[in-house]
């Protein structure tokens, strides 16, 4: 296996086609509905056209939910309302169709794919197609030790890239991205604080199930301690993910960057996917042009990361449950934008515009 050089992504990732976007804007000017009347849906339709390289834009018909799963050792400190090692139960709920994301995906007729990267369970406890990319069982406690070895971080990153290639090759035209984890928001907050140069208290939120004040203080202390370990490795994004991330976060980062290489648009969910996107931006500054922020979850770390990437959330419903549930709520908006851009009739030309 050749060495992984993250600098290659800067050369491989191109922005969505600017010429196509200008054509889409010109097409919008000719529609019967006045410019601006559809609000942000106009912008979304033009973004999709540029991402697809097509005017008029094509309908989004093959969207897919992709969830990366893992347990985080830092959860042992009581930083989450869920028990340490409890992500396996959450994954089972998704697979059984009983989680919020599974319900929404079923309603929207979108298939769900779960990728186990570091769940704290035996591999045979879950279906083979879920566990085939697993790197390890659980992760190190990031306040006192590395989450992963360098070799594990690279393996997880490459797994994320492989999943992106699999989705692109299968004809997926939009990914709704999320995570299933316990302790993942703590690791994500460390990444955001490190990359934005802020203190732990600025990025510490209440997590997927709102924690009480004592748990919040424990979480803040864990982020503060992990942040001290993160700062010395800020110049090496893969080492940063190994030090204070986790296999699921490394995989999400690899997935996001390879999706941008493959020109596959992605809707981000909450603070975990936003933190990984922020790492991805450090690797390749053009990559965020391929991503949409599905929702504002209310997590301060997410808001900080999205602001740094200049991504404005499509919705603000404060959905913190994870599993891409908030991002799934934004999918109908994207599909509506595509339909309107493609199907609205052009206005009849005025006498002044008619050719002689």
Question: pLDDT tens, 51-75?
Answer: 999 999 999 999 999 999 999 999 9
Bridge partners, 266 (sequence order): 175, 291
- What token pair was written down for 192? 């955001």
Residue-wise pLDDT for 89-114, tens only, equals 999 999 999 999 999 999 999 999 99
Residue 350, pLDDT above cutoff 90:
no
Q: What is the mean pLDDT of residues 312-325?
A: 92
Catalytic annotation on 122? no
Listed in order, strand segments (DSSP E) in the chain are 63-71, 112-118, 174-182, 266-268, 291-293
What pTM was computed for the model? Answer: 0.95
How many angstroms separate the CA atoms of 323 and 306, rounded? 18
pLDDT of 123-175, one tens digit each? 999 999 999 999 999 999 999 999 999 999 999 999 999 999 999 999 999 99
What pLDDT, on the 0 to 100 scale, is given for residue 2? 57
- For the domain made up of 63-333, the CATH class stated in words is alpha beta
* pLDDT, position 112: 98
Whose CA is closest to 321, among 282, 280, 269? 269
H-type helices in the chain, by residue range? 8-12, 18-29, 40-52, 87-95, 100-108, 128-131, 150-169, 184-196, 200-203, 213-230, 237-244, 247-261, 271-283, 300-309, 325-343
Rounded-to-integer distance, Cα 45 and Cα 193, Å: 33
- In the block, tokens 């609000």 appear at 39
Give me the pLDDT at residue 207, please.
Answer: 73
Over the stretch 266-302, which tens digit does the pLDDT of each residue have?
999 999 999 999 999 999 999 999 999 999 999 999 9
Point out the catalytic residue in the list 29, 43, 323, 353: 323
Domain boundaries, the chain: 63-333
Can you give the pLDDT at residue 1?
A: 47
CA distance 10 to 284: 5
């Amino acid at each position: 296996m050749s060495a992984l050089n993250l600098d290659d992504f800067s050369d491989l990732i191109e922005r969505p086609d600017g010429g196509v976007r200008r054509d889409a804007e010109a097409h919008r000017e000719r529609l019967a509905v006045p410019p601006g009347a559809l609000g942000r849906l106009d912008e979304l339709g033009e973004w999709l056209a540029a991402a697809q390289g097509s005017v008029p834009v094509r309908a989004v018909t093959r969207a897919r939910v992709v969830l990366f799963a893992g347990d985080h050792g830092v959860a042992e400190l009581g930083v989450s309302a869920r028990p340490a090692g409890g992500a396996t139960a959450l994954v089972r709920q998704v697979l059984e169709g009983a989680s919020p994301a599974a319900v929404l995906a079923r309603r929207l007729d979108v298939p769900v794919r779960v990728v186990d990267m570091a769940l704290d369970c035996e591999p045979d406890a879950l279906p083979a197609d879920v566990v085939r990319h697993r790197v390890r069982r659980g992760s190190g406690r990031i306040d006192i030790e590395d989450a992963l070895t360098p070799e594990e971080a690279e393996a997880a990153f490459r797994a994320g890239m492989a999943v992106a290639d699999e989705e692109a090759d299968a004809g997926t035209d939009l990914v709704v991205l999320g995570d299933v984890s316990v302790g993942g928001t703590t690791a994500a907050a460390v990444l955001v604080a490190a990359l934005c140069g802020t203190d732990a208290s600025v990025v510490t939120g209440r997590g997927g199930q709102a924690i009480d004040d004592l748990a919040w203080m424990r979480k803040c202390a864990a982020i503060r301690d992990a942040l001290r370990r993160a700062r010395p490795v800020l110049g090496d994004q893969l080492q940063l993910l190994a030090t204070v991330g986790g296999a699921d976060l490394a995989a999400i980062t690899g997935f996001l960057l390879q999706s941008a290489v493959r020109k596959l648009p992605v809707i981000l969910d909450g603070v975990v996917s936003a933190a990984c996107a922020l790492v991805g931006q450090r690797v390749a500054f053009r990559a965020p042009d391929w991503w949409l922020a599905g929702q504002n979850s209310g997590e301060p770390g997410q808001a900080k990361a999205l602001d740094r990437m200049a991504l404005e959330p499509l919705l603000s419903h404060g959905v913190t449950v994870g599993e891409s549930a908030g991002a799934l709520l934004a999918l109908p908006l994207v599909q509506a934008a595509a339909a309107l851009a493609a199907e609205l009739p052009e206005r009849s030309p005025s006498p002044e515009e008619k050719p002689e």
